[in-house]
Structure 1
Amino acid sequence: MLVYSEPAETAAPAQGTRERVLDRVLTRGPVSAAEVGRALGLTAAAVRRHLDALEEDGLVEVKAVSAARGAGRPSRRYVVTQQAQRRLGGDHLDVALSSLERLVELGGEEELRHQARRAFAPVEDAYAAAVGGRSLDLAERTRVLTEVLDEAGFAASVRRVGAGLAPTLRADQVCQGHCPLQGLPARHPEFCEEETALIARLLGVDVRRLSTLAAGGHVCTTHVPLGRA
């Protein structure tokens, strides 16, 4: 979770309100001020004050979303900026990139794939422990995997799409608002490819990546077709 410290005189005793607002944008963006307010029990006006401050600091930005069927004015929704994502990547990114480049020089493409698989091995182990040998349907497996990804620092959430459509068109979308490997996948897309392959293997169904942070998206979105289970 991105840590943003408010000035001492306005910080909440446990967790600063501004940090809570930023965390909501991170995990649910693109999201409106009203949606953030409903989730946190705040007025839209109070949320907008925090969002304005976060936008001034370069941590969130406005994304205009067209209204349904093109009617009405586009709504203002907020997402975390690339600057904030880079800050989440930590101070050791350059060292990690240099080390990886050296490994690639020595071992080539296969060594790069090996390192990418190693990076996601803890997710696979945590998923296996969470399932515990139970027989779960695809939606339940997706929920468990989302929880595991969230615990691993990917700011993950899942949403159902295709409600009201034929069963074969219904799907879950796993959204990841943060990548702990931020910077590595942008230089080496093999990390995203290995993560996608891992998700497909764990869920036992072909999945499709709709967007990635590494490619400039605001979230990583993986489409899980429930109708193909």
Structure 2
Amino acid sequence: MAQSILEHGASTAAALGERLDLTPAAVRRHLDHLVEEGAVVAQDPRTPLRRGRGRPAKVFVLTEVGRDGFDQQYDDLAVDALRFVAETGGDDAVREFANRRVAFIEERFDEVASAHSHLSPAEVLAQLFTDEGYAAAVRTLPGSNDHEVGEQLCQQHCPVSHVAHEFPQLCEAETEAISRVLGRHVQRLATIAHGDGVCTTYIPSPPTDTSNSEKEKVSS
């Protein structure tokens, strides 16, 4: 029944019964179960549906919980596919796949940086990841005397976390791509794939150019 709502959108109990060839009692039983699980919710239709006198029929729509159930099926398919890649092509093939998946980081970094010149490099990365469904943000880390010691790139959501739990190459490829576009080493501190609440990457502040100050010391 949830599959039918996913494919056809908001549906009345009558429409579901007709599509699935179920009796009204059977439809109600299934819907009550889905509502209890939090997979669907009943709403008033945006455009009232005519059914004679009385209030318009409620429509049932999938919730985020309901959609997550289908996302898990796609995760299972992705894991199976990567297992096949690993079995037939080895670890190198899995790493190549992981690198291709995060190619958007290097392909779009300059484009986003040019379009949003007010953003720092870390904030550009956050925008990139957010566009890809990661819900990312940047947190500045102050050091002594309020000098910045670096930033943290925080990804509140990871669309491949279930897959990355078995194939950490996906996380590793992300981290390596971030290092390349920034031109400095970064460190992954936490990942959703391994049970943390957020994926966190430490980005150190760029090294300061001390050549001029050293020259001044010598000349004085």
Normalised by the size of structure 2, how large is the TM-score?
Answer: 0.59
Whether contact under 8 Å (1:89, 1:183) holds in the other structure is no
Deviations 1:99-123 (A, max 9, x none): 1111111110100100100111123
Is 1:102 equivalent to 2:84 in the alignment? yes
**Equivalent-residue separation in structure 1 for 2:138 and 2:40 (angstroms):** 28
Instruction: Provide the aligned length of Structure 1 versus Structure 2.
Output: 154
Normalised by the size of structure 1, how large is the TM-score?
Answer: 0.57
Instruction: Kindly report which structure 2 residues correspond to 1:1-229, keeping only aligned pairs within 5 A, or say none.
Output: 8=43, 89-132=71-114, 140-162=120-142, 165=145, 167=147, 170-228=149-207
Deviations 1:47-71 (A, max 9, x none): xxxxxxxxxx9x9xxxxxxxxxxxx
Whether contact under 8 Å (1:205, 1:228) holds in the other structure is no
Which amino acid is the alignment partner of residue 89 of structure 2? Answer: G
- Runs of 4+ aligned structure 1 residues displaced above 6 Å come to none
Whether contact under 8 Å (1:170, 1:225) holds in the other structure is yes
State the superposition RMSD in angstroms. 3.4
**Equivalent-residue separation in structure 2 for 1:149 and 1:178 (angstroms):** 10
Gaps of 5+ in 1: 14-56, 60-82
Distance verdict in 2 for CA 1:159–1:6, change over 3 Å: farther
Larger RCO of the pair (alpha carbons < 8 Å, separation 6+): 1
Distance verdict in 2 for CA 1:88–1:209, change over 3 Å: farther
**Equivalent-residue separation in structure 1 for 2:146 and 2:70 (angstroms):** 40
Shift of 1:153: 0.4
Deviations 1:172-201 (A, max 9, x none): 111001111121110011111111111111
**Equivalent-residue separation in structure 2 for 1:90 and 1:155 (angstroms):** 19
Gaps of 5+ in 2: 1-38, 47-62, 209-220
Shift of 1:222: 0.5
The aligned residue for residue 28 of structure 1 is none
Whether contact under 8 Å (2:140, 2:152) holds in the other structure is yes
- Residue 157 of structure 1 aligns to a residue in which SS? strand
